[in-house]
Amino acid sequence: MIDQLFVASGNQGKLAEFVKLAASLDTRGRPAALPMDLSLLPNFAQFPEFDESAPTFAENAVGKALHYSQLAGVCVLADDSGLVVPALNGAPGVLSARYAGPGATSAQRNAKLLEAMRNLQGADRHAYFVCVLAVAGKGRALAVVSARSDGEILDSPRGSEGFGYDPVFYIKDLNKTFAELTPEEKNQRSHRGQAFRRLAHVLPTLSWPGASGISQ
């Protein structure tokens, strides 16, 4: 059984999000707790960077997990996620974080998206978030799960919580954007929350022929 899972990131915020998701697991058909510790991959910045240039979220997530697990010799969790607008031929898609160019802010990405959708109405404003989570150990894929959250894009941002495209992503039955939800509400509805709960079912069954510690 895996007793240590390293997140393929140097971002403490991403680790905190996964830890919060793990803490939110309950017994309503879901594991009460994860069977292993979660932590960031040590010295992440010193590893050769993985080029997330594949055309799908799944390829990027799996490729990243395989890349870092092979280099570090440990069990790695990697993710790729983004916003898909069918009326924009799937954009921003896998380029969600780079939609407005390198170094752009979330506000700039949202502004570009709203401008691109300025003349779209009704069903053409439908959008969905996608999250793919992949686990690999020493270059061997162990699990891949995905989930999506459907909504629509508003004409202007609403709310101050969340990040990225959350202020313009509207959930009709809640009459709120992702940025108007509490963290607990968002964990229940978000693509990442759903994917993590699916992964939590799988993790206790995984094993791999390697030690949990960082290779030297």
At 18-49, the pLDDT tens digits run 888 887 775 454 555 566 788 999 999 999 99
* Number of structural domains the chain divides into: 1
Please state whether beta strands 37-40 and 75-84 pair in parallel, antiparallel, or not at all (unpaired). unpaired
Using the predicted structure, report yes or no on whether residue 212 has a pLDDT greater than 50. Answer: no
Bridge partners, 40 (sequence order): 7
pLDDT of residue 24: 75
Using the predicted structure, report yes or no on whether residue 1 has a pLDDT greater than 90. Answer: no
**pLDDT tens sequence across 74-108:** 999 999 999 999 999 999 999 999 999 988 999 99
Q: Does 213 map to a domain?
A: no
Q: Does 90 map to a domain?
A: yes
Catalytic: 51? Answer: no
> E-strand spans in the chain?
4-7, 37-40, 75-84, 126-137, 140-153, 169-171, 176-177
Token pair 């969790």 is found at 77
The active-site residue, picked from 37, 79, 80, 155, is 80
H helices then E strands: how many in the chain?
Answer: 5, 7
Domain of 179?
Answer: 4-205
Does 213 or 139 have the greater pLDDT score? 139
Please give the C-alpha separations between residue 37 and each of 28, 44, 122, in angstroms, as whole numbers: 22, 17, 45
**pLDDT tens sequence across 118-154:** 999 999 999 999 999 999 999 999 999 999 999 999 9
Q: Does 212 map to a domain?
A: no
Residue 119: CATH number of its domain: 3.90.950.10
Rg from Cα positions in the chain: 18
User: What pTM does this model have?
Assistant: 0.89
113 DSSP 8-state letter? H
Q: Does 62 map to a domain?
A: yes
Please state whether beta strands 4-7 and 37-40 pair in parallel, antiparallel, or not at all (unpaired). parallel
